[in-house]
Structure 1
Amino acid sequence: MFGTSGIRGPVGDEVTAELALRVGRAVGAETDRVVVGRDPRTSGELLVDALAAGLRELGTDVVDLGVAATPTVARAVGWEDGDAGVSVTASHNPATDNGLKLWQPSGQAYDAEGRERITERVEADDPALQPWDRLGDRRRADATDRHVAALVRSADPLELSVAVDVGNGAGGVTADALVELGCHVETLNAQPDGRFPGRPSEPTAENCTALSTLVAEGDYDLGVAHDGDADRTRAVAGDGTFLSGDALLALFAADAAEPGQRVAVPVDTSLAVEDYLAERDVGVTRTPVGDVYVAEAATDPDVAFGGEPSGAWIWPEATLCPDGPLAAVRLAEMAAEEPLAERLSRIPTYPIRRANVEVDGKAAVMARVEERVLESYDDVETLDGVRVQTDDGWFLIRASGTQPLVRVTAEARDAGRAETLADEARTLVEAAR
């Protein structure tokens, strides 16, 4: 039921009011107070109502934040003395989708054990419904101002010109915080609208051309972009360059970690990040793909930062939820010290190759691939798929979570070697079909 980032899928098909009701009842079975919030999607209000009804039927009180960024919801669990939080969001997915993501009081998403508990209760569908005089209450609250205040306290005053592409989502907290810090802010797509008319929700280079153009042609030090619930942040340097996810990960990690510390990154992260950090005596802890797993690794006291190239960034001293507005503030701090374009010039770039192989029975194919890889290679990780490290590169073979595909990624410091590793990986998949 849970993917790498909560429950997510098409509304009216995989995600329904009935599902939200059952999740509410399942979470309510182990909580007394739950904080809920949603992104602006058209279906969000209906799903929050069903979720809240399920929670209240179990006697759980509901603190409803209304439309709020996912990191605001996650932070508010602790602020409201809650036992859990639920964001009704499909994050960067299109308007047709919605979902539910569950938070612990620490701001960390539910771990594997917690997700399994909730799944079992949802599937059993046998809740201990309470009588009329023991139902939970539901009250409205606003946590956005408190989120803004926390961000402002985390930084010194800034004098920058920043363009913020909110993406018609819930990330207006970023603009508010930057203004409070002293920045001149211009917004794009700032009106919350769950249809995402300004651009698709995912803040990719292709979807953020308007932001890149605005920054390049205007007098801006920085551009930032969020997805629908503002757990993701991507960046544009002052010269209009849209930073790759790996480059942004390298910059954040180098800024956050001291020599001797480590950062948590998923298994598909570029070798360039590891090389850039190694120069600073910062190590890398690899995790399965998904911010849930990065957050789990970030609970280790030696891990100063966790991030995914997709745009999820975690500073464990602040919160274990990917906090897009916090990432925007940290970017502004870095840009104030040195332009991002100059920082970017010091990060290496290596050739990377990606391919998809269509298969029947991807689980069986991956089992055969893993067996053959373990027989043939020495440095192998099986955290998420099969990752092979060589002296001059790596390749990753990993099943798609939603499609009948096995994904192949290969990278090396030399283009010819990257091609060779990609060919090796594809051959392994083809032989296992």
Structure 2
Amino acid sequence: MFGTSGVRGRVGSDVTADLALDIARALATDADRVVVGRDVRDSGRALVDALCAGLTECGADVIDVGTASTPTIARAIGSRDADAGVAVTASHNPPQDNGIKLWTPSGQAFDETQLAAIERRVDSEVTPFADWDGHGDRTRWDGAADAHRRTLLEVGRRRAAAAGVELDGFHAVVDVGNGTGGITADVLHELGATVETLNAQPDGRFPGRPSEPTAEACTGLIAHVAARGADLGIAHDGDADRMMAVDDTGRFRSGDELLTVFALQAVAAGDRVAAPVDTSLAVDDALAARGASVVRTRVGDAYVADRTREEGVVFGGEPSGAWIFPTETRCPDGPLAAVALAVLAADRPLSERADELPTYPIRREAIETTRTEATMAAVTERVRESYDDVTGIDGVRVEVDDGWFLIRASGTQPLIRVTAEARDPETADRIRSTARSFVVDAIADLDDSTTTDSDADE
């Protein structure tokens, strides 16, 4: 039921009001008060109503924060003294999708143990209905976004004071992506920056650009930053848990570069940074120069956030744009990351910070298949037959003499993701080609097997 980011999929088939009702009833077993909110997708209205119905009929009180960013919803759990939170969102997925993600009071997403408990309760079909006079209340709280904004203002002022900078005269462009990340523009403006926005009208169809803030999707932001001579460009996805950036020269900076910039600001000698298995070796090399190191996790913000609970892990991040500041919250908070990056860029331009980092060519590719589980099983078998040293923490990761590759199933979409890295482009391309062939051949063999079985049936 649950992937790396909760339930996510096509509305009406994978994600339905029935499913939301079942999850809510299961959640109410352990939660007496639950915060519920949604992103801008219109399909979220029915899902929120189903969630609230399931929770209240099982005796849980619901605090409905309406349309809000995922970090706003996650932060509201602790401030409202709730036991859990539910964000109805498909994050960066296309508009026909939606999803359900569960959050703890610390701001961290439910871990595998907690999600497994929810699944067992749903599968058992035993519902803890309340008595006729024991239904919970559903109340609306319209102050969640304002509370989030005030918190970010405090963080921004504190960080600016520590760096000895002000944002007066700082010029930022914020591409909201038609989602819920408008709070970033508000906070940067209140901190003194000159702010321009792109795609700021909330619209769950995401007409301005695809929701995922990739370099290809953010060509408008890149052009605008360059044309306007801005100091920084910020891009969010639909629910604003992600943040990517364009520097003062109009260059889109990779997630590995941003991860390194954030990490170098956070670490001292002996500290560690949590990052997933698809993170560039350049991050390791940059931190090693400071006497710090990287601890690898499975892909997914919940896994990264969980490692930040360990002593000495001071920051966590994913190259996809999810950043975990554990002293603030264990929810990936895109507006928080934007404020932190603006302060860094006001102190020293992002272009200068990123240009001095080691960079190695890294290749990423997504291959579509509706049979991800079977494909990964076949890929894993073939890779283990071909290599002795295979890491299986998340998919299969192989270290070769001149680089590495990773093959893993997406936790949110019907894709197999291939990542390869080396210290020169030709080698990176060669390693990627090798890794890709494992996936393509596995899919072809599965297709042939299906065709043969079908012919035999006839």
Q: TM-score, normalised by structure 1?
A: 0.94
1:407 is displaced (CA, Å) by 4.1
1:5 is displaced (CA, Å) by 0.7
- Identity in percent: 59
Q: Distance in 1 between matches of 2:134 and 2:413?
A: 44
Equivalent position of 1:137 in the other structure: 137
Q: Distance in 1 between matches of 2:285 and 2:261?
A: 12
1:109 is displaced (CA, Å) by 0.3
Equivalent position of 1:170 in the other structure: 180
Quickly say closer, same or farther: Cα 1:218–1:356, change in 2 above 3 A.
closer
Equivalent position of 1:369 in the other structure: 382
Residue type of the alignment partner of 1:151? L
Secondary structure, aligned partner of 2:94: coil
Quickly say closer, same or farther: Cα 1:321–1:215, change in 2 above 3 A.
same
Residue type of the alignment partner of 2:350? L
> Residue 347 of structure 2: which of 308, 319, 337 is its match?
337
Aligned-residue RMSD, C-alpha: 2.0
Q: Is 1:222–2:232 an aligned residue pair?
A: yes
> Residue 181 of structure 1: which of 182, 191, 203 is its match?
191
Equivalent position of 2:51 in the other structure: 51
Q: Is 1:158–2:167 an aligned residue pair?
A: yes
Equivalent position of 2:11 in the other structure: 11
Once the two structures are superposed, what CA deviation does each residue of 1:368-402 show, in whole Å capped at 9, x if it has no partner?
A: 135325xx434x42101121224542122324557
Secondary structure, aligned partner of 1:254: helix
1:429 is displaced (CA, Å) by 5.8
Could you tell me which runs of 5 or more consecutive residues in structure 1 were left unpaired when the two chains were aligned.
none
Once the two structures are superposed, what CA deviation does each residue of 1:195-215 show, in whole Å capped at 9, x if it has no partner?
A: 212222111111111111111
1:119 is displaced (CA, Å) by 1.0
Equivalent position of 2:262 in the other structure: 252
Quickly say closer, same or farther: Cα 1:112–1:401, change in 2 above 3 A.
closer
Q: Is 1:97–2:107 an aligned residue pair?
A: no
Quickly say closer, same or farther: Cα 1:366–1:253, change in 2 above 3 A.
same
Confirm or deny: 8 A CA contact 1:33 1:84 kept in the other structure.
yes
Q: Is 1:415–2:416 an aligned residue pair?
A: no
1:356 is displaced (CA, Å) by 6.2
Residue type of the alignment partner of 2:87? S
Quickly say closer, same or farther: Cα 1:116–1:276, change in 2 above 3 A.
same
1:297 is displaced (CA, Å) by 1.2
Equivalent position of 1:291 in the other structure: 301
Equivalent position of 1:262 in the other structure: 272
Q: Distance in 1 between matches of 2:354 and 2:44?
A: 38
Once the two structures are superposed, what CA deviation does each residue of 1:254-276 show, in whole Å capped at 9, x if it has no partner?
A: 11222211111111111222212
Once the two structures are superposed, what CA deviation does each residue of 1:320-370 show, in whole Å capped at 9, x if it has no partner?
A: 000000000011011111111111111222223445678873243144135
Q: Distance in 2 between matches of 1:50 and 1:429?
A: 39
Secondary structure, aligned partner of 2:332: coil
Equivalent position of 1:80 in the other structure: 80
Secondary structure, aligned partner of 2:107: coil
Could you tell me which runs of 5 or more consecutive residues in structure 2 were left unpaired when the two chains were aligned.
158-165, 446-458
Q: Distance in 1 between matches of 2:33 and 2:81?
A: 8
Q: Distance in 2 between matches of 1:84 and 1:18?
A: 20
Quickly say closer, same or farther: Cα 1:303–1:52, change in 2 above 3 A.
same
Secondary structure, aligned partner of 2:264: helix
Once the two structures are superposed, what CA deviation does each residue of 1:117-160 show, in whole Å capped at 9, x if it has no partner?
A: 11111222221211221000011112111111111111235221
Q: Distance in 1 between matches of 2:438 and 2:136?
A: 55
Residue type of the alignment partner of 2:388? Y
Q: Distance in 1 between matches of 2:269 and 2:5?
A: 31
Equivalent position of 2:42 in the other structure: 42
Q: Is 1:238–2:248 an aligned residue pair?
A: yes
Q: How does 1:272-351 map to 2 (within 5 A)?
A: 272-351=282-361
Equivalent position of 1:352 in the other structure: 362
1:420 is displaced (CA, Å) by 4.5
Secondary structure, aligned partner of 1:343: helix
